């Protein structure tokens, strides 16, 4: 699934130098704890974990988990239902690190965080004792100086550069003015100018034409190693091949052998079913929920024809989701595409189509959709989504049901990760979607019966 766009900058260097790379022995490799961002889940680390495994990092030393309430409060000091404070995020991370240390017997861990996850990491190391147990940190797209720093604009938010939380994080730590806690090695990865949350103009926060007082270099930290990768979007600063390469080089001192997941003979899949079904980064996508388990949901898995989305026989697995939200394990073929069907009260019956899984994963999180009022007039609804990055019309090669212009994706900028196709017929048919070489094919289902289709990219 490697694309031409990914083979740039650091990615190209890795390919050229792969022959001389070396992998440390397993005994040298610390456990890694991956920390997701605002409104996200552990699922976003799936391809990153595959890349670490494919380069020799032991699977039993790679950990990603779901923060129950992943969304930040509007005002960090004010309780808000379904939201978490910076202190609560730090407490969750501390508990996860303690669990990993106990499970592995290691004395230290590596922390890798995306976006808001970087705030929790910095807070834990600076204020929660993490400096005693953390060896290295990688921060991708972390709004290290806020997303905005405007007087009178939500100054209590964790994402305001003027908030008490952000001011104390960025206080100089030594005479050199370093912003990172000493004793820990730090790497930040940022885009040159394509991160929607590191923009001098407030277009992506609903304030077009208003200066944010934050520059493209907002994610960089004084005292850290700061890497800039051209044209990456906000999520790709953590989840792209180029971001992985930067992290691998930082952690090991050598280039990775491969940027692509190496296929296994069979893939054992499992994960959680939660109610987080809509994208909090796309305001038009509607309401969203949390990472709490969706007990009682029904799951069915079908092998499908990768060119038509048609089912190849009866369900390969059916399961009622228990109180912990876990599903699986399911043994998948790495050369086979699958349809995951979820049904639960209050949600649409959701048909999720995925390209083949080359490797095992325990973070295949599944989320049923809710039908927005604005979509109910359609006969069929198909959602094309890219959880680990955004759609960029100027940068990417895309096609959705034969169209190169994706509904809802702006002609400039990378800030939307899903597109909705509202069809005027409920006649069942095939709908293909492509993004930079990855292809997902699904089928339509009648919206009148409360059914929707999701074509979900892995890369």
The CATH number given to whatever domain includes residue 43 is 3.40.50.1820
Average pLDDT over residues 129-149: 98
pLDDT(1) > 90: no
For residues 247 and 344, state if they share a domain: no
- Please say if the pLDDT value at position 281 is more than 60: no
| Domain co-membership, 297 together with 333 | yes
Q: Are residues 149 and 115 in the same domain?
A: yes
pLDDT above 50 for 16? no
- Report d(CA 91, CA 438) in Å as an integer: 38
What is the CATH number for 441? Answer: 2.60.40.1120
- Looking at the fold, whether 173 and 291 belong to one and the same domain comes out as no
Residue 258: inside a domain: no
**Is 259 inside a domain boundary?**
no
pLDDT over threshold 90, residue 10: no
Q: Cα–Cα distance between 259 and 3 in angstroms, integer?
A: 11
Percent of the chain at pLDDT > 90 equals: 90
| Biggest CA-to-CA distance, the chain | 69
Question: Looking at the structure, do residues 215 and 362 belong to the same domain, yes or no?
Answer: no
Work out the average pLDDT over 233-262: 98
Tell me, yes or no, whether 5 lies in a domain. Answer: no
Three-state DSSP string of the chain: CCCCCCCCCHHHHHHHHHHHCCCCCHHHCCCEEEECCCCCCHHHHHHHHHHHHHCCCCHHHEEECCCCCCCECCCCCCCCCCCECHHHHHHHHHHHHHHHHHHHCCCCEEEEEECHHHHHHHHHHHHCCHHHCEEEEEEECCCCCCCECCCCCCCCCCCECCCHHHHHHCCCCCCCCCCCCCCCEEEEEEECCCCCCCCCEEHHHCEEEEECCCCCCCCCCCCCEEEEECCCCCCHHHHCHHHHHHHHHHHHCCCCCCCCCCCCCCEEEEEEEECCCCCCCCHHHCCCCCCCECCCCEEEEEEECCCCCCECCCCCEEEECCCCCEEEEEEECCCCEEEEEEECCCCCEEEEEECCCCCCECCCCECCCCCCHHHCCCCEEEEEECCCCCECCCCCCEEECCECCCCCCCCCCCCECEEEEEECCCCCCEEEEEECCEEEEEECCEHHHCEEEEEECCC
Sequence-separated (6 or more) residues with CB below 8 Å from residue 64: 33, 34, 36, 42, 45, 49, 363
430, part of any domain: yes
Distance CA 317, CA 372 (A): 29
Expressed as residue numbers, the domain containing 397 is 267-456
The domain boundary, picked from 217, 252, 287, lies at 252
Whether 25 and 161 map to the same domain: the answer is: yes
Give the range among 181-190, 268-277, 326-335 with minimum mean pLDDT: 268-277
The answer as to whether 261 is a domain residue is no
What global pTM score does this model have?
0.93
**Does residue 188 sit in the same domain as residue 281?**
no
Same domain, yes or no, for 323 and 398? yes
> How far apart are alpha carbons 236 and 457 in whole angstroms?
14
How far apart (Å, rounded) are the C-alpha atoms in residues 170 and 155?
Answer: 16
Per the structure, how many domains does the chain have? 2
What mean pLDDT is reported for the chain? 93
* Shared-domain flag, residues 36 and 136: yes
Query: Do both 225 and 281 map to the same domain?
Result: no
pLDDT in tens, 333-372: 999 999 999 999 999 999 999 999 999 999 999 999 999 9
Residue 215 belongs to a domain: yes
Rg of the chain (C-alpha set): 21
pLDDT at residue 151 greater than cutoff 90: yes
Q: Are 219 and 145 contained in the same domain?
A: yes
What φ, ψ does residue 99 adopt, rounded to 5°? -65, -45
Residue where a domain stops, chosen among 252, 281, 309:
252
Same domain, 247 and 273: no
pLDDT tens, position by position, 295-333: 999 999 999 999 999 999 999 999 999 999 999 999 999
Instruction: State yes or no: pLDDT of 17 exceeds 70.
Output: no
Question: 422 lies in a domain?
Answer: yes
2 located within any domain: no
């Amino acid at each position: 699934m490697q694309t031409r766009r990914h083979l740039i900058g650091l990615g190209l260097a890795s390919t050229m130098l792969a022959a001389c790379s070396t992998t440390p022995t397993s005994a040298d490799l610390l456990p890694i704890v991956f920390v997701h961002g605002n409104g996200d889940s552990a699922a976003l680390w799936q391809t990153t974990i595959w890349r670490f495994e494919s380069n020799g990092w032991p699977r039993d030393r790679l950990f990603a988990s779901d923060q129950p309430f992943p969304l930040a409060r509007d005002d960090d000091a004010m309780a808000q239902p379904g939201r978490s404070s910076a202190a609560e995020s730090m407490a969750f991370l501390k508990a996860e690190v303690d669990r990993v240390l106990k499970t592995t017997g290691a004395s230290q861990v590596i922390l890798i965080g995306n976006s808001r996850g970087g705030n929790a990491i910095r807070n834990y190391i600076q204020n929660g004792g993490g400096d005693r147990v953390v060896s290295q940190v990688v921060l991708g797209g972390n709004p290290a100086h806020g997303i905005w720093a405007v007087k009178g604009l939500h100054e209590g938010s964790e994402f305001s550069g003027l908030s008490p939380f952000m001011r104390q994080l960025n206080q100089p730590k030594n005479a050199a003015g370093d912003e990172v806690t000493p004793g820990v090695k730090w790497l930040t990865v940022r885009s040159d100018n394509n991160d929607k949350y590191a923009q001098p103009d407030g277009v992506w926060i609903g304030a077009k034409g208003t200066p944010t007082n934050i520059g493209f270099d907002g994610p960089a930290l004084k005292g850290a190693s700061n890497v800039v990768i051209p044209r990456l979007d906000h999520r790709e600063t953590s989840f792209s091949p180029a971001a992985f390469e930067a992290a691998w080089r930082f952690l090991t001192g050598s280039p990775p052998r491969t940027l692509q997941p190496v296929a296994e003979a069979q893939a054992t899949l499992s994960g959680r079913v939660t109610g987080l079904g809509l994208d909090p980064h796309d305001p038009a996508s509607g309401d969203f929920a949390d990472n709490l388990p969706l007990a009682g949901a029904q799951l069915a898995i079908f092998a499908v024809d990768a060119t038509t989305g048609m089912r190849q026989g009866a369900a390969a697995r059916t399961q009622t989701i228990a109180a912990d939200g876990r599903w699986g394990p399911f043994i998948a073929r790495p050369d086979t595409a699958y349809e995951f069907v979820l049904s639960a009260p209050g949600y649409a019956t959701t048909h999720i189509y995925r390209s083949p899984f080359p490797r095992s994963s325990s973070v295949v999180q599944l989320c049923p959709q809710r039908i927005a009022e604005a979509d109910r007039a359609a006969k069929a609804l198909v959602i094309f989504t890219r959880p680990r990055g955004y759609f960029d019309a100027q940068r990417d090669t895309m096609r959705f049901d034969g169209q190169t212009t994706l509904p809802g994706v702006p002609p400039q900028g990378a800030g939307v990760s899903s597109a909705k196709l509202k069809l005027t017929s409920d006649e069942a048919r095939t709908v293909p979607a492509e993004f930079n070489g990855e292809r997902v094919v699904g089928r339509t289902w009648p919206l009148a019966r409360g059914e929707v289709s999701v074509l979900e990219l892995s890369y």
